[in-house]
C-alpha cells in the first residue's frame, strides 16, 4: 500500500487552500467575531458567582475561545467536493484509478483544514489577550499530550462523520436536511454552544451517549484539567472505538451507495 500518494494529496490540498489565505482570514474573522459578545456576556454572568456547574470564570472563557477554534478542525460537515463528485459522476474517474476514495478525501480534507487552523490560531490569539490572565494554559506535559492526541482522534472521527454525511448524496438529490443537521444539531451536541455540564441533567445524560461530545467537549475538558487520568484514558478509548465503528458503517454505506451509483445508467 502506498501512503505516499495520500501525503501528496494532503500537500496539494494544503497548497490549494493556501491560495485562499485572505479568504480564510476574512471568513475566520466573521466566524469569530460573535465570540466577543459571548465573552462579554459570560464576564457579566460571572460577576454574580464564582462557579457555574463546576466551571470557574477562567475555565468558561477559555472554553469558548478554544472550542471556537477547535470546531473548525473537528466539526463534521457535508463536504461539497464529495457530494459533487457523486452527483455529477466525477466519482467514476476516482474509481478507475489505483486509489482508495475514503483515504483520498481524508488526506484532501485534512490538507485543506490545516492552513485554516493556523489562520484560526492567529485570529483567536487577540481574544486570548483580551481576557488576559483568565486564559488558562496547562503546564503539565501529560495534559498537553492527552489534549493533542484527543484532537487527532477527534479529527479522524469528525472526518468519518463528514464522509458519512456526504455519502448521502448517493440517495439525496438535494442535501439541505443533512446540512441543517450537520450545521445546527451536531454543533450543539458537540458542546460548541454551551459546555454540556450547563445543560439540564437529562440532556447532558442523553448527549453523553452520543459520539459528538468526543469531537469537542472531551478534548477541551482535557485541556481544562476537568478530567481524571482514568476518565481521559477511557475517553480516548471510546474515541478509538467510535473510529472503528464509523469505518465499518462507512464501508457498508459506501458499498450500498456504489451499487446505487452504478444503477444510474447511461
Partner 1 sequence: MNAAIEVENLTKTYRVPIRRPGLKGAIKHLFARQYRNVVALDRISFTVQQGAAVGYLGPNGAGKTTTLKVLSGLLHPDEGHIRVLGFDPWRHEEAFKKRIGFVMGQKGQLWWDLPAHDSFELLREMYEIPSRRFLSTLQELVERFSVKDLLYVPVRNLSLGERMKMELIAILLHEPQVLFLDEPTIGLDVMAQHEIRLLLKDYQKRHGATLLLASHYMRDVEDLCDRILLIHQGNILFDGSIDEIKKHYVPFKKVSFTLSRPVESEEVFSQWGEVQEYSGSQVTLTVAEHKVTQIMQLIVTRFPVVGVSVQDPSLEEVIRVAFSTFDNGQGGRDGVA
- Measured from the CB atom, the residue of 89 and 126 that comes closer to partner 1 is 89
Q: How far is the CB of 20 from partner 1 (least distance, A)?
A: 8
| Contacts for 58 with CB less than 8 Å, ≥ 6 apart | 133, 134, 135, 136
Question: Do residues 242 and 155 touch, judged by C-beta distance below 8 A?
Answer: no
Q: Per CB under 8 A, does 141 bind partner 1?
A: no
Q: Figure out which of the listed residues 93, 180, 234, 256 binds partner 1, where binding follows CB under 8 A.
A: 93
Give how many residues touch partner 1 by CB under 8 A: 24
- Measured from the CB atom, the residue of 35 and 167 that comes closer to partner 1 is 167
Q: How far is the CB of 260 from partner 1 (least distance, A)?
A: 11
Q: Per CB under 8 A, does 87 bind partner 1?
A: no
Q: What is the DSSP string of 102-165?
A: HHHHHHHHHHHHHHHHHHHHHHHHHHHHHHGGGS-----HHHHHHHHHHHHHHHHHHHHHHHHH
Q: Per CB under 8 A, does 251 bind partner 1?
A: no
Q: Per CB under 8 A, does 43 bind partner 1?
A: no
- Measured from the CB atom, the residue of 11 and 205 that comes closer to partner 1 is 11
Please give the Cα distance from 48 to 51 (Å, whole number). Answer: 9
Site for partner 1 in 150-169 (CB under 8 A): none
Instruction: Quote the crossing angle between the two packed helices 101-131 and 80-88, to the nearest 10°.
Output: 150
Coil, strand or helix at 55: strand
Coil, strand or helix at 52: strand
- Measured from the CB atom, the residue of 15 and 251 that comes closer to partner 1 is 15
- Measured from the CB atom, the residue of 132 and 265 that comes closer to partner 1 is 265
Q: Per CB under 8 A, does 177 bind partner 1?
A: no
Question: Do residues 80 and 53 touch, judged by C-beta distance below 8 A?
Answer: no
Beta bridge partners of residue 51, listed in sequence order: 56
Q: Per CB under 8 A, does 97 bind partner 1?
A: yes
Site for partner 1 in 3-32 (CB under 8 A): 4-5, 8-9, 12, 15-16, 19
| Contacts for 64 with CB less than 8 Å, ≥ 6 apart | 35, 38, 39, 42
Site for partner 1 in 198-227 (CB under 8 A): none
Please give the Cα distance from 140 to 66 (Å, whole number). Answer: 18
Output the nine-digit C-alpha cell for 156. Answer: 479522524
Q: Figure out which of the listed residues 95, 137, 247, 248 binds partner 1, where binding follows CB under 8 A.
A: 95
Q: How far is the CB of 168 from partner 1 (least distance, A)?
A: 17
Q: How far is the CB of 146 from partner 1 (least distance, A)?
A: 35
Q: Per CB under 8 A, does 96 bind partner 1?
A: yes
Binding residues for partner 1, rule: CB under 8 A, are 2, 4-5, 8-9, 12, 15-16, 19, 88-90, 92-99, 262-263, 265-266
Amino acid at each position: 500500500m502506498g501512503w505516499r500518494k495520500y501525503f501528496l494529496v494532503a500537500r496539494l490540498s494544503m497548497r490549494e487552500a493556501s491560495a485562499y489565505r485572505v479568504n480564510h482570514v476574512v471568513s475566520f474573522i466573521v466566524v469569530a467575531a460573535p465570540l466577543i459578545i459571548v465573552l462579554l456576556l459570560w464576564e457579566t454572568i460571572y460577576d454574580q458567582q464564582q462557579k457555574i456547574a463546576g466551571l470557574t470564570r477562567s475555565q468558561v472563557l477559555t472554553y469558548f475561545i478554544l472550542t471556537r477554534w477547535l470546531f473548525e478542525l473537528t466539526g463534521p460537515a457535508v463536504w461539497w467536493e464529495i457530494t459533487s463528485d457523486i452527483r455529477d459522476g466525477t466519482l467514476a474517474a476516482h474509481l478507475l484509478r489505483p486509489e482508495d476514495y475514503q483515504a483520498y478525501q481524508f488526506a484532501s480534507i485534512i490538507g485543506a483544514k490545516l492552513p485554516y487552523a493556523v489562520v484560526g490560531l492567529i485570529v483567536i490569539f487577540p481574544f486570548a489577550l483580551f481576557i488576559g490572565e483568565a486564559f488558562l494554559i496547562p503546564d503539565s506535559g501529560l495534559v498537553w499530550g492527552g489534549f493533542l492526541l484527543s484532537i487527532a482522534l477527534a479529527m479522524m472521527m469528525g472526518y468519518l462523520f463528514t464522509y458519512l454525511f456526504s455519502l448521502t448524496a448517493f440517495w439525496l438529490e438535494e442535501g439541505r436536511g443533512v446540512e441543517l443537521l450537520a450545521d445546527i444539531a451536531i454543533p450543539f451536541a458537540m458542546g460548541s454552544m454551551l459546555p454540556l455540564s450547563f445543560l439540564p441533567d437529562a440532556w447532558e445524560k442523553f448527549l453523553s451517549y452520543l459520539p459528538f461530545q468526543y469531537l469537542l467537549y472531551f478534548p477541551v475538558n482535557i485541556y481544562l484539567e476537568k478530567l481524571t487520568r482514568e476518565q481521559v484514558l477511557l475517553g480516548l478509548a471510546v474515541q478509538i472505538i467510535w473510529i472503528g465503528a464509523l469505518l465499518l458503517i462507512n464501508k457498508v454505506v459506501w458499498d450500498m451507495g456504489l451499487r446505487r451509483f452504478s444503477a444510474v445508467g447511461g
